[in-house]
Structures are given as structure tokens and as C-alpha cells.
């Protein structure tokens, strides 16, 4: 039996990646609820509502964020995310998903302590198992 969390938030503008990740996470039954937003701006709006205890927007336990997105990319999202209250963020595990793990991006990630680790997309079953064991 895999451990499970209540809510996972996927932040990625790539439909195929979202589909594959959503399908894998659903099949592995690691979350009761999987939400998808397609850019950093939507993600921040979602989190604002979640932190205000809006029942329509459950607070995520785990967030996967892509680096390269239109409207607001992963780094811009993380900059805004850092400004949110520590209390709000304390129970959230943030992981970066990327197709381009360039040295520059990985160096830049070090400026964001909220991001625990990065994974290549799409997620693999082994990754999900490791994440659940390590963080939950």
C-alpha cells in the first residue's frame, strides 16, 4: 500500500505531461485529489484561495512545478511563493519538474529553499514511490 496525501497540485503548461503525471498519480493512488493549473499565475490564485480555507481549493500537500511555462514561469512563481507566509507553506512539499535540467536552472534553484528536489518529467513510478517515502 502506497502512502497517500489529500491534495497534489500540478503546475505545468504542457497538456501531455499533465495527462501522464495525473494518470500515474491516480493509478498509484497517492492522492485523493489531483489539481492541475497551467501557469504560475493560476497556481498563485489557487494557493491564495487554499490558504483562505476556500473548500473549493483544498490546500496541497505536494506541489510539482515546471520551470518553463508561459504567462508566469516556475522561477517567477517561486519568487512570489517565497513571499507567502511561512505558516501557510509549512506543510507543503514543493518539487520541481523539468525537461531541461540545465546547470543554470539547477544553480538558480538553490535560491529557492522551498524546493526540496527536482525530477525529470514526466514522473516515473519509482520517483513517486521515493517522494512518498521521503516526504510523507
The percentage of residues in the chain with a pLDDT greater than 90, rounded to a whole number, is: 85
69-90 per-position pLDDT tens digit: 989 999 999 999 999 988 889 8
Tell me what the mean pLDDT of segment 116-123 comes to. Answer: 93
Residue ranges of domains in the chain: 5-135
pTM of the model: 0.94
Q: Which residues, listed in sequence order, are joined to residue 96 by a DSSP beta bridge?
A: 65, 118
- Give first-to-last CA distance, the chain, whole Å: 13
With vertex at residue 25, the alpha carbon angle to CA 41 and CA 72, rounded to the nearest 5 degrees, is: 15
Q: Is the confidence at residue 98, as pLDDT, over 90?
A: no
pLDDT of residue 3: 79
Residue 46: is its pLDDT beyond 70? yes
Give the CATH number of domain 5-135: 3.40.50.2300
For residue 70, what is the DSSP state?
S
1 confidence band (pLDDT: 50, 70, 90): very low
Amino acid at each position: 500500500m502506497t502512502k497517500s496525501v489529500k491534495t497534489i497540485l500540478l503546475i505545468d503548461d504542457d497538456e501531455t505531461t499533465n495527462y501522464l503525471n495525473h494518470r500515474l498519480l491516480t493509478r498509484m493512488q497517492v492522492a485523493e485529489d489531483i489539481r492541475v493549473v497551467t501557469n504560475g499565475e493560476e497556481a498563485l490564485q489557487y494557493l491564495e484561495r487554499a490558504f483562505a480555507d476556500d473548500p473549493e481549493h483544498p490546500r496541497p500537500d505536494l506541489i510539482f512545478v515546471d520551470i518553463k511555462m508561459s504567462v508566469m514561469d516556475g522561477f517567477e512563481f517561486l519568487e512570489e511563493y517565497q513571499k507567502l507566509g511561512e505558516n501557510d507553506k509549512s506543510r507543503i512539499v514543493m518539487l520541481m519538474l523539468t525537461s531541461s535540467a540545465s546547470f543554470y536552472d539547477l544553480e538558480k534553484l538553490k535560491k529557492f529553499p522551498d524546493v526540496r528536489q527536482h525530477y525529470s518529467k514526466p514522473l516515473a513510478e519509482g520517483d513517486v514511490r521515493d517522494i512518498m517515502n521521503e516526504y510523507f
